[in-house]
Structure 1
C-alpha cells in the first residue's frame, strides 16, 4: 500500500497523557494513544510525540508543532468570559516518526494533517486559561497519506 488515505480520530475527556484512537480507511484499527517524549516516557505537556498502540501494532506521530499552536491559542482563552467557556482549534501536520512502527506498521511512513479541537468550561472564580476546568473534550481528527512499506 503506497500513499493510501487513512483517517485518524483521537479523543479524550481530559488533557492527560492517555486517549483513545481509531484509524479508518486504508488502515482499520483502534486502541490507545499516549503522549510521550522522544525517549518514550510519558509527556503530560504533549510537547513531542503521540504513541498509537493499536491492536495490530504501534507507531508514533510528531505532535510538537501542534502543541506549540495549542499553547499559543490558549493565550486567548476563554473566548466567552460570561460563561467561562471556549474552544481552541488548531490545524497542522503530524508526520509519522521514521522507524517507530511495530507489528503490521513496522515499515509505516507518511504524514497526517490533523485538527485539534479543545472545548472547555472553567471555574468562574478564575475565568482564564489557568483556571481548573469543570469539563473538557479533546478531539484530534484528520487524514493523511500513509504507506506500509
Structure 2
C-alpha cells in the first residue's frame, strides 16, 4: 500500500457558494476567487495544511492525497520539499505584509475621514448660514410678487433696456 506524503486541497466547484472564507483562511494565498464566485485552488502553491476546511460552510473543500513520486531519489524529494516549504514561507510572509498594509490603509482612511468630519459647532454654523440664505431668497421672492412677473423669470441682473 503506497504511503501518502501530503494532501492537495480541491474545491468541488458545483457546491462552492463563493463565501470567501477559505480564501481568508489560507495562509499562503493558494485559493483564488471573488465573492459570490466560484473559487479554485492553485495546486502548486497549496501546502496541504487543511486550514481552509473548517471555515467552509457548505463543505465543498476536499483533501485529496498525493502519492510520493516513485523512482526519484529520496534526496531529490527532500530537496523538493525544502523548496516548497521555502516558497510557502515566502508566500505567507507576503500575505501577512499585504494584510498589514491593507489594515494601515484603512486606518489612515478612517483617520482622514474623522479629520474631515465637522464638529457640532461647525455644523450649527453651516445650518445657520443655510437658513439665512433661504430666508434671504424668500424675502427676495416676496418683494417681486407684486410686480406680476413670474418668479422663475426673475434674475439677478435683468437685461431689460
> Fold match, TM over 0.5?
no
Whose helix proportion is higher, 1 or 2?
2
Q: TM-score under structure 2 normalisation?
A: 0.20
Q: TM-score under structure 1 normalisation?
A: 0.21
Whose strand proportion is higher, 1 or 2?
1
- Which protein, 1 or 2, shows the higher relative CO under an 8 Å CA cutoff with sep ≥ 6? 1
Greater Rg by CA: 2
